[in-house]
Amino acid sequence: MTAEGLVSAYADAAERDAEASVRPKRLAEFIAQDRVRDQLDLLLQGAMRRGSPPDHILLSGPPGLGKTSLANIVAAELGSGIRVTSGPAIERSGDLAAILTSLAEGDVLFIDEIHRIAKPAEELLYSAMEDFRVDVVVGKGPGATAIPLDVEPFTLVGATTRSGLLTGPMRDRFGFVAHLDFYSPTDLEALLHRSARILGVPITDDGATEIAGRSRGTPRIANRLLRRVRDYAEVRADGVVNRETAQAALKVYDVDALGLDRLDRAVLTALVDLFRGGPVGVSTLAVAVGEQPDTVEEVCEPFLVRAGLLARTPRGRVATEAAWRHLGRNPPDGTFGAGSPPAPDLFSAGPDQP
């Protein structure tokens, strides 16, 4: 199990194939993100009518919202090939030059986590994006020579979960920048029905509603929870994913009614029971739950803040009244957020980070 209480990153081939099978292949199949879909459709249709590659595309947003799927859809809509790599994998400018010079005309180059690309490679990418040319330096010192190499016209699709870490020159070279928002429960229900049809899983409306409500507004999590509930339904029930089966299955996998997993609840419980609701520093909180501070800050906190269960203050992390209520405790007088309304709609459109 991962920190999200879902499947391991080291899932077997069948698990990866199942995840790939439910990904939309065309823009018309992509559920939700209506504004981004409409903008992309205009961009691609215009480019195809002109007979030229579309402008470079930057997709930003939290993990699991469909950035990789959209990159593959761009290539499919254009009828082009796609080359996939990631920012951390490009350590030297020569690595990027080899990729760029191997592209055919009109190909799509998808770079995931593009904000983590090495600086020398990023600078090489500037000229490739603007002029379709790269300068490869041969030799060292005074005898070094720059050899210009032409690159076939291509479209770069960059994906990032941390758009603020992109440099200004890099961001400015993208002709289209799109931000993907969390999905609403209604959109997730539609996505789950589609995925269930593809996987051959009988699912009822109330079963889809139950899973959607625990999926953190994220399609990737919704699809993974669907597969776990399917396993439970086939082994311990009648094979149909309904509300009762979903509730029982997700209890086994430690996913509660709000979508909190074991680590999320451990953080809230430590904050409430050990530190009386805070404020407490993230390092101290991480020690209390036996995790690294980065894990608590990057994996747990964004969702807990978005769910209205935790607040970041100058003095440290504080449990809100909703957190106390969710854990079944009565908040003491003076607790942060006392008298505040219930937790807000978790997945309304908004920024990806609190």
Annotated binding-site positions for Mg(2+): 68
Q: Residue type for 17, please?
A: D
Which of 68, 160, 218, 335 is labelled catalytic?
68
| The two structure tokens encoding residue 291 | 């995790």
Expressed in angstroms, the distance from the first to the final Cα of the chain is 26
Binding region for ATP: 23, 64, 67-69, 130-132, 173, 183, 220
Binding region for DNA: 312, 317
Distance (Å, rounded) from C-alpha 283 to C-alpha 301? 13
3-state secondary structure string, 286-319?
Answer: HHHHCCCHHHHHHHHHHHHHHCCCEEEECCEEEE
Active site residue 68: yes
Binding region: 23, 64, 67-69, 130-132, 173, 183, 220, 312, 317
Q: Which residue has the tokens 């379709």?
A: 132
Distance (Å, rounded) from C-alpha 314 to C-alpha 335? 16
Indicate the burial class of 32 (C-beta count within 10 angstroms; 0-12, 13-18, 19 or more). buried
Letter string b/e over residues 74-97, b meaning 16 or more CB atoms within 10 A of that residue's CB: bbebbebebbebebebbeebebbb
Which of 67, 214, 224, 230 is labelled catalytic?
67
Q: At 108, which helix (H) or strand (E)? A: strand 108-112
Question: Rounded to 5 degrees, what are φ and ψ at 136?
Answer: -100, 120
Active site residue 261: no
Closest CA to 321 of 341, 294, 345: 341
Active site residue 112: yes
For residues 209 and 189, the answer to whether their CB atoms sit within 8 Å is: yes
For residues 176 and 16, the answer to whether their CB atoms sit within 8 Å is: no
Q: Residue type for 349, please?
A: A
Q: CA 48: distance to chain centroid?
A: 29
Distance (Å, rounded) from C-alpha 303 to C-alpha 298? 9
Which of 214, 216, 220, 265 is labelled catalytic?
220
How many other C-beta atoms can be found within 10 angstroms of the C-beta atom of residue 6? 21
Which of 155, 160, 161, 218 is labelled catalytic?
161
| The two structure tokens encoding residue 5 | 């209480």
Active site residue 204: no
Active-site residue list: 67-68, 112, 161, 220
